[in-house]
A and B are shown apart, each in its own frame.
Chain A
Amino acid sequence: MPSVQKPLLQLTGIAKAFPGTKALKGVDFSLRAGEVHALIGENGAGKSTLIKIIAGLYQQDAGTIEVEGKKVAFHSPADSLEHRIKVVYQELDLVPDLSIAENVFLGNLPKKALRAVDWQALYSRTSELLLDLGLDIDPEVPISALTVAQQQLVEIARALSRQAQIIIMDEPTSALSQTEIESLFAVIRRLQGRGVGVMYVSHKLDEIYAIADRVTVFRDGEHIATEAVADTRHKDLVTWMVGREVKDLYPRSPAVRGDVLLEVDSLSGGNIENFSLNVHAGEIVAVFGLMGSGVHNLGRLIFGDMPRAGSVRLSGEEIQAQSPMDAIRKGLGFLTENRKSDGLLLPLSVKDNITLVSVNNYANLMVINGQEERRATTDIIKKLSIKTPGIAQRIRYLSGGNQQKSLVGRWLLEDLKVLMFSEPTRGIDVGSKAEIYRLMDDMAHQGMGILVLSTELPEVMGIADRIIIIRQGKSAGRWISRQEANEQDLMTAATVQMEKVI
């Protein structure tokens, strides 16, 4: 065999245009055997388009794809699978009610005589694949009983069942806890050892340093850089992605701390037990916890979207349990953590999404004053610099960052005292993150109270005046200021037994 190895996957000059936009303007990307090559870029950089071209979902307008040195053309996902390429999408495409084994071999079930399914072979082969990935679990269990992390491993097992040599992971850690991320990385390293090439698409720069060998940056459909990760500074990556230097990701400046606005007393419900907190005017308070700690339930409980015990008061007034409407009327707003499933009205326009809560403010005698509503929407779009071709644009076509800003705008149109953000920057790019943080800071300076519920430690440390840790539904420590808190202490409190911390 010659010593100079052809790359597993070589993309050259890939271009793809959609009417109105050029998603990719002639980009290159290569993947060697046994390599983890990260692809990063802001939303709209063209990462997803490239993945879809490799997966055979889109066809490129120009450029070539070579697999092991041979030019190939993908007309459908089947062609791509044929070349042993497997994409593990962010939104996993598993059938929830079928068993693990059936999912792993979906479309490829082992058969006996008369084309009957060979169940024995199916289960034993699945078990082997799962054990290989460090997952000791009964292959007959339905997918719906698994955690997201386990489901992801099932997707990878599915790739291995087809002898995939190229695995593409699209934001694989967005819903994983820290320990789950560690074990995912262990699996990736094992795949690497076997000569599988992994293309790793992510927003999270820390992960790139933890797992990737090389990194490629796209911006606005163009290839900006490809470098060995070891030779690249964090700052360079951000600058390449954003196209300018992000000086201050966390623009928090101390505001005057006013009266107490939100008082949560002995709150229980879901897996939350006896949780208390308060938020003053001008203050940003963050609750930090891992996935499954109950940090997200906390928002639903306070807002009244889940049955609760205990009391929630806003400026001294009790908010009725189970009535988001009462919460809003008294001045409490809530941005949910799942933008797509719980926040956006995907079939509707940017305007309808922004004015969802406040629409009654533009109504006289029940009839909406369209002009006033449009003016309010346009103001918000300008104020938050939401990038959209117009207010009638369907929100579905905006980038994640602009969708999130629209949701913030939805609440800015109300006269709020306290706004709760659950995962304020999940899945949005660095530039938009900085803008969201700036907005929070502004709101605090205008005398609002901000409550952040987050599973992202850097965010919590960067933005909050006070930090509360939640572990298994209970309060597990409090820190007054950013200077006092350090990453290690917070992480320990969130993971280790409570007794040891206090």
Chain B
Amino acid sequence: MAVLGKGNSGNSVLARGLARWLLTREAGLLILLLAVVVLFWILEPSTRQQRVYWDLLREISPNLIAAIGVTMLMLAGEFDLSIGSMLAVTSVTTVVVFNGTDSMWLGVIAGLATGPIVGSIHGYLVTRQKMNSLVTTLGSLFALRGMVYVYTNKTPIVDENGFYDFQDAYYNNLGPAPLPFVLAIILVALSLIVLTQTEFGRNIYAIGGNETAARVSGIKVNLIKFILFVICASSAAISGMILTMQTGTGYFDSGSSGFELIVIAGVVLGGIALSGGKGSLVGTVLGILILGMTAKGLRLMGVNTNMQLMVTGSIMILAVFMHSFHDRISIFRKR
């Protein structure tokens, strides 16, 4: 187990590396994902087409992007439950500005700006006023949704200009890959670099690992948390933008069917500890894909939604079981 090399031959080092990797959380998740894919491959012939997977990636992109922010925030030991309501705020804001200014770019900018605004409010309340983030963002989950309902009177806002460029961005591809997914992958890659290769990322893990220790090590805990709330709400705003592209309308109920819970479920499934400090963004991506693939497969099989809930829930429990098993064997391996 020594990291300092022991001068083994190349082959056995590779084999040992592979064996060690197979015991990681991510490997377990990847195997679970492949198992889900293979299962549907066998059960449902329509999943044997490549197109299904590209569609899946397109549909799952908003979840992936929102999950980036949620993951970073949870790694630092904080929560944002309001991301579902954020989707509607972004969506409605974007289309209202479309119609008011007749400018696509102003609409997009205004829509995306809702992220940093809401995130700053959360960051201020949690870091300055020392409010609990779970309760604070539960509050804004209701407050933001209510605001959207009041403003729209529960009527979808139609894009009067019909900005087709805007809608095309959702349906267009770059090579074989759907554009939203390309964006998601770019954002994931950037975030992964930030989390694993920069001081900022290291500090996020440190804060989640032990906030006091981080503070007395000179880390600006409050500033970093503030930034994370902004990142989280902003990633939700980007998700909201993508969903708005999909329909071309400002939809008051966007994300109201438990978007935040599905994303958090994916993040937790991916192995991010609720207490913070533990887990990786790669796990999150796999977690979101597992849930997305399961839902898609079941839908293609024509399984009714009640049954879908049951199966998705069971897969989550299976994954959490896997994690706790993994934790137990890690203790024995002392790594």
**Which A residues contact B (CB, under 8 angstroms)?**
18-21, 303, 305, 324-325, 327-329, 334, 336, 341-348, 352, 355-357, 359-360, 363, 366-368, 370, 378, 389-394, 397, 410
Number of interface residues of B (CB under 8 A): 31
What is the chain B residue whose CB lies nearest that of A338?
Answer: B212
A390 touches B3 (CB 8 A): yes
Q: Which of A20, A327, A348 contacts B277 (CB 8 A)?
A: A348
> A346-B210, A348-B205, A394-B335 in contact; A305/B199 too (CB < 8 A)?
no
A305 touches B216 (CB 8 A): yes
A392 touches B210 (CB 8 A): no
User: Which residues on the A side are within 8 Å of B199 (C-beta)?
Assistant: 359-360, 363, 366, 368
What is the chain B residue whose CB lies nearest that of A362?
Answer: B199
For the A-B complex, the count of residue pairs with Cβ-Cβ distances under 8 Å equals 105
B2 touches A305 (CB 8 A): no
CB distance from B154 to the nearest CB of A (A): 44
B213 touches A342 (CB 8 A): yes
Q: Which of B209, B218, B219 contacts A346 (CB 8 A)?
A: B209
Q: Which of B197, B216, B335 has the most CB of A within 10 A?
A: B216
Taking A342-B213, A343-B210, A357-B217 as known contacts, 19 extra A-B pairs with beta carbons closer than 8 A to each other, sorted by chain A number, are: A19-B334, A20-B333, A324-B215, A327-B218, A329-B218, A343-B213, A345-B213, A347-B208, A347-B209, A347-B273, A348-B206, A352-B202, A356-B217, A360-B199, A366-B200, A367-B197, A389-B2, A390-B335, A392-B335
CA distance A318 to B76 in the complex (A): 32
CB distance from A477 to the nearest CB of B (A): 29
The answer to the question of B193 belonging to the interface, with a C-beta cut-off of 8 Å to chain A, is yes
User: Which residues on the A side are within 8 Å of B198 (C-beta)?
Assistant: 363, 366-368
> A324-B215, A325-B220, A348-B209 in contact; A19/B202 too (CB < 8 A)?
no
A-B contact pairs, 13 of them (CB 8 A): A303-B216, A342-B210, A345-B206, A345-B210, A345-B214, A345-B277, A357-B218, A366-B199, A367-B198, A389-B1, A390-B3, A391-B3, A394-B335
What is the chain A residue whose CB lies nearest that of B193?
Answer: A367
B277 touches A347 (CB 8 A): yes
User: Which residues on the A side are within 8 Å of B2 (C-beta)?
Assistant: 389-390
- Contacting residues of chain B (175-222) with chain A, CB-CB under 8 angstroms: 193, 197-200, 202, 205-206, 208-210, 212-220
User: Which residues on the A side are within 8 Å of B215 (C-beta)?
Assistant: 305, 324
Q: Which of B208, B216, B278 contacts A324 (CB 8 A)?
A: B216
User: Which residues on the A side are within 8 Å of B206 (C-beta)?
Assistant: 345, 348, 352, 356
User: Which residues on the B side are within 8 Å of A19 (C-beta)?
Assistant: 332-334
User: Which residues on the B side are within 8 Å of A359 (C-beta)?
Assistant: 199, 202
Q: Which of B213, B219, B273, B278 has the most CB of A within 10 A?
A: B213
What is the chain B residue whose CB lies nearest that of A366?
Answer: B198
> A345-B205, A347-B273 in contact; A393/B334 too (CB < 8 A)?
yes
Tell me the dominant secondary structure on chain A's binding face. mixed
CB distance from A2 to the nearest CB of B (A): 46
The answer to the question of B15 belonging to the interface, with a C-beta cut-off of 8 Å to chain A, is no
Contact with A along B1-40 (1 / 0, CB 8 A): 1111000000000000000000000000000000000000
What is the chain A residue whose CB lies nearest that of B3?
Answer: A390
User: Which residues on the A side are within 8 Å of B200 (C-beta)?
Assistant: 366
B334 touches A20 (CB 8 A): yes
CA distance A356 to B219 in the complex (A): 9
A389 touches B202 (CB 8 A): no
User: Which residues on the B side are within 8 Å of A357 (C-beta)?
Assistant: 217-218
A325 touches B273 (CB 8 A): no
CB distance from B38 to the nearest CB of A (A): 32
CB distance from A345 to the nearest CB of B (A): 3
What is the chain B residue whose CB lies nearest that of A342?
Answer: B212
CA distance A324 to B215 in the complex (A): 7
CA distance A394 to B331 in the complex (A): 10
Q: Which of A305, A324, A397 has the most CB of B within 10 A?
A: A324
CA distance A239 to B305 in the complex (A): 71
User: Which residues on the B side are within 8 Å of A346 (C-beta)?
Assistant: 209-210, 277
What is the chain B residue whose CB lies nearest that of A334?
Answer: B216
User: Which residues on the B side are within 8 Å of A20 (C-beta)?
Assistant: 332-334
CA distance A391 to B2 in the complex (A): 8
User: Which residues on the B side are within 8 Å of A394 (C-beta)?
Assistant: 334-335
Closest 7 CB pairs of A and B: A390-B3, A345-B209, A328-B218, A325-B218, A342-B212, A19-B332, A347-B277
CB distance from B283 to the nearest CB of A (A): 14
User: Which residues on the A side are within 8 Å of B210 (C-beta)?
Assistant: 341-346
User: Which residues on the B side are within 8 Å of A393 (C-beta)?
Assistant: 334-335
Contact with A along B309-333 (1 / 0, CB 8 A): 0000000000000000000000011
B209 touches A397 (CB 8 A): no
CA distance A387 to B166 in the complex (A): 59
User: Which residues on the A side are within 8 Å of B277 (C-beta)?
Assistant: 345-348
CA distance A21 to B202 in the complex (A): 31
User: Which residues on the A side are within 8 Å of B214 (C-beta)?
Assistant: 345, 356
A324 touches B332 (CB 8 A): no
CA distance A342 to B332 in the complex (A): 26
Q: Which of A347, A363, A366, A378 has the most CB of B within 10 A?
A: A347
Q: Which of A342, A366, A368 contacts B216 (CB 8 A)?
A: A342
CB distance from A418 to the nearest CB of B (A): 15
